[in-house]
Amino acid sequence: MGEGTDHDRGVTVKGRPAAGGGRWVDVAPDRLPRWLENFAVRHGAYRSEGLTVTAADGAVARFETPIGADPVDSVDDLVRTAARPRRLGLLLARKAAVAVGVADGSRLLASKVDTHYVQGRTAAGGWSQQRFARRRANQAKAAAAGGADVVARVLLPHADGLAALVTGGDRAAIDAILSAPHLSPLVLVRAARVLEVPEPRHAVLLAAIDQARAVPVLVRDP
């Protein structure tokens, strides 16, 4: 089995292609020691250099610190640091749907899911199309403003204690929401990575906590 499908060993990860070759997998913090053990079983004994491990058969795994965690210089330090609870803000947005939450470790402390109607299909050409475009732009603007209000209510009271703001979904929708001036404290702690998520719902928000806490690993096979 590859590292991306190892559910029966108690390690649940998700693989995605990496630019330049290999694949990214997300490893839950408490599963990281077991993941390393399985890596050695598959590829042979490994040596560590910084946050990179190289196995006997030439397989390489390069680890990144998870979102909001303090920087570390070794895999051993990463295992300890990744397992520590961090308070994260979550903002998931697609079109007119938004899900916002505050997580402390794996626990969701506060959340809100909201939707606004935005037309998604183009109309015929000419005057009708122009009128449609204006209507859709106004709807999108209202959705962004409504999303910003939700973010302010849920996240701003926790802004000082957030290790990071984790976003997911459609980048344009996220950027529109965070363009509100009063959300600038959250922009300062926004993580670079944008999670891939379906239409924001409460269940999707809960799943995003696991994604946000996970340790990203770039795996390149020999």
Backbone angles phi, psi at 72, to 5 degrees: -135, 165
**Tens digits of per-residue pLDDT, 1-49?**
345 444 333 444 557 888 889 999 999 999 999 999 999 999 999 999 9
One domain, residues 94 and 123: yes
End-to-end CA distance of the chain: 15
One domain, residues 8 and 116: no
Give residue 96's pLDDT.
73
Residue located via tokens 């490994």: 46
Longest dimension (CA), the chain: 68
Report the predicted TM-score, pTM, of the whole model to 2 decimal places: 0.82
Residue 167 pairs in a beta bridge with: 91, 194
H or E element in which residue 163 lies: none
CA 86, distance to chain mean position in Å, is 14
One domain, residues 158 and 193: yes
One domain, residues 200 and 103: yes
One domain, residues 19 and 111: no
Domain count of the fold of the chain: 2
One domain, residues 124 and 196: yes
* pLDDT tens track, the chain, 222 positions: 345 444 333 444 557 888 889 999 999 999 999 999 999 999 999 999 999 999 999 999 999 999 999 999 999 999 999 999 999 999 999 877 899 999 999 999 999 999 864 445 554 444 466 665 565 555 556 567 788 999 999 999 999 999 999 999 999 999 999 999 999 999 999 999 999 999 999 999 999 999 999 999 999 998
Residue located via tokens 């990463």: 78
> Three-state SS for 64?
coil
The domain in which residue 184 lies consists of 87-212
Question: In 127-141, which positions are buried (b, 16+ CB within 10 angstroms) versus exposed (e)?
Answer: eeeeeeeeebeebbe
d(C-alpha 50, C-alpha 76), whole Å? 9
Question: In 68-103, which positions are buried (b, 16+ CB within 10 angstroms) versus exposed (e)?
Answer: bbeebeebeebbebbbeebbbbbbbbbbbbbbbbbb
d(C-alpha 175, C-alpha 26), whole Å? 25
d(C-alpha 1, C-alpha 22), whole Å? 16
One domain, residues 102 and 78: no
Candidates 40, 41, 46, 6; CA nearest to 26 is 6
**Tens digits of per-residue pLDDT, 130-141?**
665 565 555 556
One domain, residues 142 and 192: yes
One domain, residues 179 and 116: yes
d(C-alpha 221, C-alpha 210), whole Å? 25
One domain, residues 92 and 201: yes
